[in-house]
Amino acid sequence: MQTLRVALGTKSYRIVVGAGAMHHLAAYLRRAKVSSRIILITNPIVLELYGLNLKETLNQSGFDVAVLSVPDGEEFKSLESAGKLHADMSEALADRNTTVLALGGGVIGDLAGFVAATYMRGIPLIHIPTTLLAQVDSSIGGKTAVNHHKLKNNIGVFYQPRAVFSDISALKTLPDCHISNGLAEIIKSAVIGDRTLFGLLMRHMSRLKEGDERLLESAILHAAAVKARIVSRDEHDTGIRNTLNFGHTIGHAIESVSSFKVSHGNAVAIGMASAGRIAAHMRLLSAHDLKCLTSVITDAGLPTSIPDINPQDVLAAIKHDKKAVNGMVKFILPVRIGKVVITNNVTQDMISKVLTE
């Protein structure tokens, strides 16, 4: 079990990573002297796999746990679900000292985080991420949100958890496509800020994919540390936190043009490879580093280009990106493995060129 810290002054918190991390929660809650009332927010899949067991452990330690289960799926990350959770929490007599446990992937984390942030103007929140993506990305940094009016994450608040418990054992039941989504974010973290992690990925990708716990713990810790460092410097995403969008500008456009048939991980992988090719054309990135980036993505079983999508459609979707200013979009480009720059100097011709390569 290893621990790292997200340094945010009085809002600082610990991330505990390791096999069985979830079972350290009861001891943590006792030490933290939290109130005995707990609201466990999860979905039916994760409840069955881990939630019931966790509830039992917490009950045995003297905590009174009310389980609130939200149906599985992105469409339930909504204001309606949040309202229902608020009502169920009132019914369960949750008060200002009640702690919310968010047990699940990024959907549950974002929704339960939003609910904890807004119930009685904010009550304690602990993330227990159970997907690889949630362990390396969404549980860290305090972005909470629901989707609304056909727009993704457009209602939300920054709200930091009190702690994060990333239990690597939970990844054993995670379907392969969700392991790939997480691997794409780990590659992202390596490229934006951790050459050592990138080296680990180059050497050990196949064992990581097989679920080697020692390697997974190391990769998750490194990736979480990259995000923790960036969030500590720019909690509210006004500057350097934008670099966490590496691969996501083109990635989000591909997801939307494919009507979400291309998974998030695949889309981000194509986005990262495309950003690498743009950087190489602009003579910002060496041919050697581009080759390393492309081969790590391929080794992870992720794609580097889009066969069945019209690049012009992707270009049109990029122009509608909510972060676009006068049709120019902020791009995060790698200048070497472990370092990226933020630029809005990428032309549409350049984007078309790399998408057709």
Given the rule CB under 6 A, which residues bind ligand GLY?
137, 141, 143, 237, 241, 244
Q: Which of 110, 235, 255, 321 binds ligand NAD (CB under 6 A)?
A: 110
Which of 332, 353, 2, 339 has the alpha carbon at shortest distance from 164? 2
Q: Which residues contact 345 (CB under 8 A, 6 or more apart)?
A: 282
Q: Is 42 in the site for ligand NAD (CB under 6 A)?
A: no
> DSSP characters for 8-37?
-GGG-EEEEEETTGGGGHHHHHHHTT--SE
Q: Could you tell me which stretch among 16-24, 89-97, 136-144, 195-203 binds ligand NAD (CB under 6 A)?
A: 136-144
Per the structure block, which two tokens stand in for 241? Answer: 């936190």
Which of 112, 203, 221 has the alpha carbon at shortest distance from 166? 221
Where would I find the H helices in 211-263? 213-233, 248-257
| Opening angle at CA 227, ends 257 and 39, nearest 5 | 85
CB of 244 to ligand GLY, least distance (A): 4
Phi-psi region of 325 (alpha: psi -120 to 50; beta: other; left: phi over 0): beta
Q: Is 46 in the site for ligand NAD (CB under 6 A)?
A: yes
CB of 42 to ligand NAD, least distance (A): 9
Please say which residue, 74 or 237, places its beta carbon nearer to ligand GLY. Answer: 237
Q: Which of 49, 282, 284, 315 binds ligand NAD (CB under 6 A)?
A: 49
Q: Which residues contact 194 (CB under 8 A, 6 or more apart)?
A: 222, 223, 225, 226, 338
Q: 311 with 352: CB under 8 angstroms?
A: yes
Q: How many residues bind ligand NAD (CB under 6 A)?
A: 27
Per the structure block, which two tokens stand in for 46? Answer: 């994760």
Write the binding mask 54 to 93 for ligand NAD: x where contact by CB under 6 A, - elsewhere: ------------------x-x--x----------------
Q: Which of 40, 65, 170, 270 binds ligand NAD (CB under 6 A)?
A: 170
| 244 binding partner (options ligand NAD, ligand GLY, none; Cβ < 5 to 8 Å by kind) | ligand GLY
Write the binding mask 171 to 210 for ligand NAD: x where contact by CB under 6 A, - elsewhere: --xx---x--x-----------------------------
Which of 133, 95, 132, 129 has the alpha carbon at shortest distance from 112? 129
Q: Is 161 in the site for ligand NAD (CB under 6 A)?
A: no
Per the structure block, which two tokens stand in for 93? Answer: 């007599």
Q: How far is CA 244 from CA 176, 223, 237, 276, in A?
A: 23, 11, 10, 15
Q: Which of 81, 99, 138, 274 binds ligand NAD (CB under 6 A)?
A: 138
Please say which residue, 58 or 268, places its beta carbon nearer to ligand GLY. Answer: 268
| 104 binding partner (options ligand NAD, ligand GLY, none; Cβ < 5 to 8 Å by kind) | ligand NAD
| 241 binding partner (options ligand GLY, ligand NAD, none; Cβ < 5 to 8 Å by kind) | ligand GLY
| 105 binding partner (options ligand GLY, ligand NAD, none; Cβ < 5 to 8 Å by kind) | ligand NAD
Q: Report the residue number whose CB is nearest to ligand NAD.
A: 106
Where would I find the H helices in 73-212? 79-91, 106-118, 132-133, 176-193, 195-210
Which of 36, 28, 2, 336 has the alpha carbon at shortest distance from 194? 336
Q: Which residues bind ligand NAD (CB under 6 A)?
A: 43, 45-46, 49, 72, 74, 77, 104-108, 110, 130-131, 133-134, 137-138, 141, 143, 153, 170, 173-174, 178, 181
